Amino acid sequence: MRVAVARVADFLPGQRRIIQIGKRSIGVFRVGDRFYAINNSCPHQSGPLCLGRTVPWARSDGPGDVRVTGERTLLACPWHGWEYDLVTGQSFLGPGERPARSYEVSVRPGQDLNEDAALKFPDRVPGPYVAETFTVSVEEDYVVVDTRARSDR
């Protein structure tokens, strides 16, 4: 299932949103002009992973040589500080621990949303009434999360 999270214009760089899809909680992050989605449960001890801070990568070519590079695409769990890559969900603490589930995120033109029957809007709950509908063209871009984990594809 694909889920429309928000209009791109309403999702500022550095912002995150936590969405609920059924029983699943997913954090969606905007880092610069890229979007990432990751399960909001830390595999270590089920902490609220997406409430943690994002940090840039630290690189080293040897002792005494440490530099910070890249964008803030590491997510640190607020409970114990375990870090996960927003792209892959890979942990860099706790060798052998399973990664956090990460999800594919895309930016789709609003006009394509009308034609996508599998697309859902998580904050909308159908009521008991159905009104007559008409075709509408939406012209803005939307952030869309594919809720199949990367490993499920």
CATH number attached to the domain at 2-152: 2.102.10.10
Per the listing, tokens 């912002």 go with: 15
Give the mean pLDDT of the chain. 82
* Domain spans, the chain: 2-152
Residue 1 confidence class, pLDDT cut points 50, 70, 90? confident
Give how far the C-alpha of residue 126 lies from the chain's centroid of Cα atoms, to the nearest Å.
25
Bridge partners, 104 (sequence order): 146
pLDDT at 153 over 50: no
Residue 71 confidence class, pLDDT cut points 50, 70, 90? confident
Greater model confidence, 76 or 152: 76
Tens digit of pLDDT for each residue in 21-42? 888 899 999 998 999 999 999 9
Residue 59 in contact with residue 69, Cβ under 8 Å?
yes
Amino acid 132: pLDDT: 65
pTM, two decimals, is 0.75
Per the listing, tokens 């860099």 go with: 92
Residue 149 confidence class, pLDDT cut points 50, 70, 90? low
Residue 45 in contact with residue 109, Cβ under 8 Å?
no
Amino acid 108: pLDDT: 85
Cα separation, 93 vs 58, whole angstroms: 14
Greater model confidence, 105 or 113: 105
Mean pLDDT of 47-69: 88
Most distant CA pair in the chain, distance: 68
